[in-house]
Amino acid sequence: MLKSGNDKGNCVVDKITYDNFLFDFRSIVVEWFEVEGIFPPGGLERLHFHKSYDLFQRENDQSTVWHKCFYDKIRTDNRFDHEYMSFLSQYIKPRFGEEIVYQKIPTLRVHLPGNISVGEFHKDKHYRNEDWAEKVQELNYFVPLTSAYGTNTIWAETEEDLGDFQEIRANYGECVEWSATKLTHGNKQNITRNTRVSFDFRVIPKSRYVESDYLTINTKIPFGIGGYYEVL
């Protein structure tokens, strides 16, 4: 398991504990799924009882009914965005001591049993201009809405190109800070009995941000302020 950034010998991951009663992202997502009739009994961990999918590839790993619901609702129901902005203000921005450039709409992940949630092992910088990615050095934040462990979570190397893949284990109420730009990461086929649902987002300190004319790999949104990013 990847260790906390406070652990000697490993500074690539830090784990933030937050108040999940005050920032109850899970309840909002559950309500959205219930309203759309895509939430089976038993909680988010049982989403696979509603629908299954063939093994995902990079091109379709954001194409489930739950992804469509999440991205539709987040644009029309401001409750999630309100909590997201408050979460960034209280827990993330103070870590930088300056304005931050943050991912405007976080990315949903659904890791069903027997499947993966991202289509391939990769470094995020391979999906954009690598020179730009090296300059801005964005950090990633992984926020599970269910327990993330074993083969239903992210597996990442502890140092760039080391290839020693280990699980990133976290629970609801925890947020993991790490560098997906540098570290090769991905998923194993989920052989647990539980679906993992999570969201993640990227942050750049404003002082390191530079404009980019590159587009996101799936949605073709510009990697710029007012597109993929906003400033807080």
Q: Which pLDDT does position 81 carry in this prediction?
A: 96
Cα(72)–Cα(143) distance, integer angstroms: 20
In the chain, % helix, strand, coil (3-state, to 5) comes to 30, 20, 50
pLDDT tens-place string over residues 61-114: 999 999 999 999 999 999 999 999 999 999 999 999 999 999 999 999 999 999
Read off the pLDDT of residues 110-158 as tens digits, 9 standing for 90 and up: 999 999 999 889 898 887 777 888 888 899 999 999 999 999 999 999 9
Q: Which residues pair with 197 in a beta bridge?
A: 110
- The yes-or-no verdict on residue 26 having pLDDT over 90 is yes
Per-residue pLDDT band for 199 (boundaries 50, 70, 90) equals very high
- pLDDT at residue 185 in the model: 94
Residues of the chain with pLDDT > 90, as a percent, come to: 74
Place of tokens 């890791």: 111
- Rounded-to-integer distance, Cα 232 and Cα 230, Å: 7
Percentage of the chain lying above the pLDDT 70 cut: 94
- In CATH terms, is domain 13-231 a member of 2.60.120.10? yes
Q: What pLDDT was estimated at residue 7?
A: 36
Is 232 in contact with 93 (CB distance < 8 Å)?
Answer: yes
pLDDT at res. 5:
42
The residue with tokens 């991912």 is 103
Tell me the pTM: 0.92
Closest among 128, 95, 106, 100 to 209, alpha carbons compared: 100
Q: Where are the domains of the chain?
A: 13-231
Region of 161 (left: φ > 0; alpha: ψ -120 to 50; beta: rest) is left
Residue in the structure block whose two tokens are 């739950």: 66
